[in-house]
Amino acid sequence: MKNSKFLAVLGFLAAALCLIVIVATAVGSVTIPFQSTAGIIFSKFPFVSLDAAWPKAQELIILQVRLPRVLIAAVVGGALALCGAVMQGLFRNPMADPGIIGTTAGGALGAVLSIYMGWAANYLYALPAAAFLGALASTFLVYVIASEHGKTPVNILLLSGIAVGGLAVSMSSFILSLALHNWEIARQIIFWNMGGLDGRSWMHVKMSLPIILPACFVILAYGRDLNVMLFGEESAHGLGVNVIWTRRILLVLTALVAGVSVSVSGSIGFIGLVIPHIMRLVVGPDHKMLLPVSFLAGACFLPLADLICRTLIKPEELRLGVVTSFVGGPFFIYLLIKSKREVKA
């Protein structure tokens, strides 16, 4: 019964993702019929032959302007939701999230430094590499500060994440102040800190997908280990899980995924907090089920959020990080209030 529900949810999310990709690609300043959009996309699949014809301008808009942006939104949304689910299981803490515990801020600092130093303009993988190193450094620093005897208290985790994230943000602001004499670089840094997917192309897809997707598949293989670690280190050791190495591997992988995601999308918060909580209510706490559905749910959510950014106040465009914060901020407050009530009880 449990497996059938999981498969049903998985199938629903996969179908919803396909539909959302088509809708988000079709709608914009120039709306293209859904049938034409689907035909243009599926015509590029191997072994698919379609007789339908559509204007060359529509094909150019779909394939060169919108589809790369939508694909990056789906992959980044799924990746950040997966990282949030992993961190909540790894820290045994419902408040853990790449944004809240400083991972995203560290990745953003690495990206900002890469832009300021000119590395991003000269080397294709300089930006994701710098973002990964920044995310990894901030994640390990928070983990070292907050953990004691294998446990990570929620209050210490939040305070550590706020402190490390605040330090990373202040350093990013310092670099921005140094870059103000060069408006083009300063503009890139400002937009990066606000999060957004405008101007994303197939170059960004090629830069991020070959790193994010394999890392996510490896993370999915640790679902059973995360389940065992929920019962404590001693129980995990007794069931054959090397807790120290598992924790290190997962921290590196989540930092890699979050860092590379930040490098192509800028700072986008709260997806890793909100999506796993909602999916946990749907499929339960089993990470073998929670991880894949969290990825698909995040992949559905972020293209929709990006679509709102593109269409809500046309022809202007909202920043994606602002929209996700509007959703995630109230949810985070709700979780804090809920935790306070549970402590009093």
Q: What are 184-203's pLDDT values in tens digits? A: 888 888 877 788 888 888 98
What residue type is assigned to position 80 of the chain?
A: L
pLDDT band at 78 (very low <50, low <70, confident <90, very high): very high
Please name each of the domains of the chain with its CATH number: 66-344 (1.10.3470.10)
Residue 344 scores a pLDDT above 70: no
Contact 296, 17 (CB under 8 A): yes
Q: How confident is the model at residue 289 (pLDDT cuts 50, 70, 90)?
A: very high
Q: ∠ CA 188-117-138 to the nearest 5 degrees?
A: 85
Q: Measured between alpha carbons, how far is 110 from 172 in angstroms, rounded to an integer? A: 9
Alpha-carbon gap, residue 76 to 122, rounded angstroms: 24
Per-residue confidence (pLDDT) for residue 321, from 0 to 100: 82
pLDDT tier for residue 124 given thresholds of 50, 70 and 90: confident
Give the Cα-Cα-Cα angle 307, 309, 312 (nearest 5 degrees).
95
Among 254, 292, 259, residue whose Cα is nearest residue 276: 292
Q: At what angle do helices 271-283 and 320-344 cross, to 10 degrees?
A: 60
Assigned token pair, 342: 């549970």
Alpha helices in the chain (DSSP H): 2-26, 34-42, 56-60, 67-90, 103-117, 119-122, 126-146, 154-179, 183-194, 202-220, 223-229, 233-238, 243-265, 271-283, 287-311, 320-344
Mean pLDDT of the chain: 86
Tokens 């060169």 appear where?
64
Token code pair at residue 330: 């109230």
CA distance 143 to 234: 20
Measured over the CA atoms of residue 311, residue 317, residue 321 and residue 326, the dihedral's sign is negative
263-275 pLDDT, tens per residue? 888 888 789 888 9
315 preceded by cis ω (within 30°)?
Answer: yes
- Assess whether pLDDT exceeds 90 at residue 22: yes
pLDDT of 179 > 70? The answer is yes
Q: What is the pTM of this model?
A: 0.88
Provide the residue type at 337 as one letter: I
Which of helix, strand or coil describes residue 156? Answer: helix
What percent of the chain is modeled with pLDDT above 70? 95
Cβ(300)–Cβ(94) below 8 Å: no
Integer-rounded Cα Rg, in Å, for the chain is: 20
pLDDT for residue 118: 86
What mean pLDDT comes out for the span 234-257? Answer: 84
- pLDDT tens string 33-64: 898 898 888 887 776 666 667 788 888 999 99
Is residue 151 classed as helix, strand or coil in its secondary structure? strand
- pLDDT above 90 for 80: yes
> Pick the residue with more confidence: 64 or 235?
64
Question: What would the pLDDT profile of 147-173 be if each residue is shown by its tens digit?
Answer: 776 666 767 877 888 899 899 989 998
Answer yes or no: is pLDDT of 305 > 70: yes
The answer on pLDDT for 95 being more than 70 is yes
Q: What percent of the chain has pLDDT over 90?
A: 31
- The secondary element (H helix, E strand) that includes residue 76 is helix 67-90
Q: Residue 218 — φ and ψ, nearest 5°? A: -65, -40
